[in-house]
Amino acid sequence: MSFLSEDFTDNDVQLSKFARAMALPVRVFILRMIIESGNSISKKAFYDNSYNSRTIDKHILELKSLGIIKTNTVKTGIIYCIDQNLFNQMSNRFHLFFDATKSLSNSR
């Protein structure tokens, strides 16, 4: 079966981009650190871990370019936070996607 890009909905594309962004452990680590810090963490706090600072910077930049995290500049430096609206939206979309499979297992 061949798929054409016309077959993909906007929802398909958005879910795919989000899933791809979350597919790397270092990115999950970054997001977990932000969450565990009350959705506000300084750039410096990321450097007190076992990952190389360039690795962290690279993945933060990618998460930021995808709109998953946002930055605020304060006197003491840069603060990172998760875009909660985007996370809630993606969570709902994944929930609907996975819930659709429940009806498949019930129909057998």
What is the model's pTM? 0.81
β 41-42/69-74 pair status: unpaired
Structure confidence at residue 48 (pLDDT): 75
Q: Kindly state the tokens that stand for 62.
A: 């990618």
Nearest to 30 by CA among 3, 65, 69, 2: 69
Structure confidence at residue 35 (pLDDT): 96
Complete DSSP assignment for 14-29: HHHHHHHHTSSHHHHH
Whether residue 85 has pLDDT greater than 90? yes
Residue owning tokens 């930049």 = 61
Give residue-wise pLDDT tens across range 19-46: 999 999 999 999 999 999 999 999 888 8
Whether residue 1 has pLDDT greater than 60? no
C-alpha–C-alpha distance, residues 8 and 12, integer Å: 6
Residue range 10-95 forms a domain whose CATH class is mainly alpha
Structure confidence at residue 4 (pLDDT): 65
**DSSP structural state of residue 52:** -
Choose between 53 and 35: higher pLDDT: 35
Structure confidence at residue 3 (pLDDT): 62
